[in-house]
Chains A and B, each alone.
Chain A
């Protein structure tokens, strides 16, 4: 009986297949029916029925399907490819996306472990350096004459970037490491509340930071092109170990590396990867978001490590440096000792924008 129905259905199906217009005419009345020959099953002996229909359809070139009728696919061959799904939405038609496993393994493994290690070791090394060498003091007495080092636009750009960076770093580090550090201490409810606040802050400050690095790039790029003196500076580590500071322009080799590798390269990496994750409505693939997440975490950890060094040298590491960025003015002695080439330029009038020789900063608050 099964064979009989099988043969019947096959023959009917074949007849329909020979009529390409059949489906188009399906809604049209009667004529389509006449095109179908009368069921031949009555004439055909039942015994021979299985023989005839067992012809496999011709497969398109490159098809890996089994020849034959209605064999289930090998799941490993089809489950990761886009198929058909009636539920709308990106990647809803993919059965399995195994990339998540890889993302999970890298993020929970090396990124969390070594990333955490880096964020602990770098400040520790800086602390050791500070304990051994102390801060870089001025050798000569301050002259009392001031040189404008950063104008208000530069300072505003720097501090927008700096403050947003610190907020992003704190909220970001909480997101990655809080589960292992804060959660056991605070408990799930309190910690979830902290992250529920941290993440929106991170998401809103992020674009501000992105904007501020673009502005900072255009403001600071002209003084950050590498020159021969910078490579000398870098090869001698700026003279920080020998107390004989290598002469440098407005920015030294270290600052330029921070500018190009830190602000420009890592800044772009974390910005682009951050924006990919920030807008789920951009119809982004899960795999790309996972890759962006890893890029973001690794980039941000490197960025933060460099920032530790920058913040150290800009505050307790160098006498007078923080005041320079806060108020915009440095003493002539500071300029001569830390940025000799820049000092010469200002003195010889090659930098008309920079006022030299004032005894009081323009804002007069010091």
Chain B
């Protein structure tokens, strides 16, 4: 079974925000929620690079570990999804996530959080695949339709790669060999090698 991952090739990303827009459009996410965002480092200086960030679907996902109602689950493809029927909007996943992926629509006065919303790797939620209910809560389930995440498919420079970790790393490796730079894949150490970071303190669940 494929293990789904994202790679953002910073040597290619031109900060067009196409992925952000594609995502918002595809899933019709509520106002104020951005499942994906662009961060530009060294803006206006030599070595400027942009990274498109969303949920990285971590191996040892901190959001899953801290959720007080245990509303997260991992699919067979390694995609971290959550059940909005169980979510209570406490914001703990937001504290725990290193990538700032969890988003909360405002649900009332004093900035009260609604149910959390985040990137689903275009894989919907616990509802029946491609139903109205699933679409309303989680957006389109493209994986169930045999398609890859819309952000990567829409990427004009193919900087954003989404799919089986082995396939996208081999594509990336070829690119690095050809251009001779940019070999460091951003975010992978944080997302897929987190066990060592929390192990000394004995956090398990």
Contact = CB atoms under 8 A, between A and B. Distances in A.
A50 B111 CA distance: 56
Interface in A96-144: 96-98, 100-110, 113
B69 A104 contact: no
Contact of A192 (B49, B65, B66, B69): B69
A105 B65 CA distance: 9
A72 B50 CA distance: 10
Given A57-B46, A98-B190, A108-B65, A280 B39 contact: no
Contact of A279 (B66, B87, B99, B111): B111
**Chain A interface category by residue count:** 35 or more
Nearest to B66: A104
B168 interface: no
A89 B41 CA distance: 17
B111 A192 contact: no
B111 to A, nearest CB: 3
Interface string B71-108: 10000000000010111101110111111100010100
Given A98-B98, A103-B96, A280-B104, A192 B85 contact: yes
Contacts of A179: 67-70, 205
Interface size on B, as a range, is 35 or more
A96 B69 contact: no
Q: Secondary structure at chain A's binding surface: helix, strand, loop or mixed? A: helix
B171 interface: no
B113 interface: yes
A192 B96 contact: no
- B-side binding surface: helix, strand, loop or mixed? loop
A286 B184 contact: no
B18 interface: no
B41 A78 contact: yes
A92 B98 contact: no
A72 B38 contact: no
B197 A191 contact: no
A65 interface: yes
A91 B187 CA distance: 17
B100 A75 contact: no
B20 interface: yes
Interface of A: 56-57, 65-66, 68-75, 78-79, 83-87, 89, 91-98, 100-110, 113, 175-176, 178-180, 183, 188-189, 191-192, 195-196, 199, 277-282, 286, 289-290, 293
A-B residue pairs, 3 tightest by C-beta: A281-B111, A105-B201, A84-B43
23 contacts: A65-B47, A72-B47, A72-B181, A79-B187, A83-B42, A87-B37, A94-B39, A95-B186, A97-B99, A98-B197, A101-B98, A101-B198, A102-B201, A113-B202, A175-B68, A179-B67, A183-B70, A188-B70, A188-B71, A192-B71, A195-B88, A277-B91, A279-B111
Interface of B: 10-11, 15, 17, 20, 34, 37-43, 45-47, 49, 51, 53, 62, 65-71, 83, 85-88, 90-92, 94-100, 104, 106, 110-113, 181-182, 184, 186-187, 190, 194, 197-198, 200-205
